[in-house]
Amino acid sequence: MNIAADAVNRTLERETWARERLAAHAERTVRIVVGPARAAFAIDTGGQLREATAAPDLTLTVSPLRLPALLAQPGRWSELVTADGDAALAATLAELALTMPMFVEQALARAFGPIVGQQLSDVGRRLLTMPEYAAQRIGDSVARFVGDEANVAVSAAEARAFASEVAAVASEVDALAARVDALAAAASRELKSSLT
């Protein structure tokens, strides 16, 4: 059995109500896709997970970039998870996902005590929301910058007119350089003829 299924099953051992909810979907299979990672599980009659090779009844897809947000805020399940297949099983898993923070808090409380466990759980949730918070702040900053700088931007017609003026000035500079070269050549010839 893989590590994820083993961890979920250990948690489910203490939660009879959750196993009963899953047992209602016995022999159904779920494939979880997170970026390139994939795992398939079957639900047994006791509400435990086991590895599966059969075609999935439900496929849950989560972007790797959105996984931390889902772990921190499982209430956003419908926004962050794409479910394809058995709608009843998807609804049960969405309901069970809401209890995930409670399971984590209980595990941390057993390992570190109730106060430290609660604090570690809170810190973990805040850390998991950091990537999304940073992306949102950067997006807001870019939008504000673009909005502020829109007045400075030039239109395509203004850019073409400016390019045309630059080309005209460049042409005049080239003509002036040619006249200067001609005058320099004439002065040089005059100087040579006066010396001879």
pTM above 0.75, yes or no: no
Q: Which residues of 77-96 are buried (b: 16+ CB within 10 A; e: fewer)?
A: beebbebebbeebbebbbeb
74/101 Cα distance (integer angstroms): 8
Cα separation values, 147 from 49, 52, 152, 158, Å: 51, 52, 10, 19
Span 128-187, pLDDT tens digits:
677 777 777 887 887 777 777 666 666 778 878 888 888 888 888 888 888 888 888 888
Span 57-86, pLDDT tens digits:
999 999 988 888 888 888 889 998 999 999
- Domain extents in the chain: 1-153, 155-196
26/170 Cα distance (integer angstroms): 80
Cα separation values, 160 from 108, 151, 155, 166, Å: 65, 18, 9, 10
- 24 pLDDT tier (thresholds 50, 70, 90): very high
The CATH number assigned to the domain with range 1-153 reads: 3.30.1050
Span 85-96, pLDDT tens digits:
999 999 999 998
Rounded (to 5) percent helix, strand, coil in the chain:
65, 15, 20
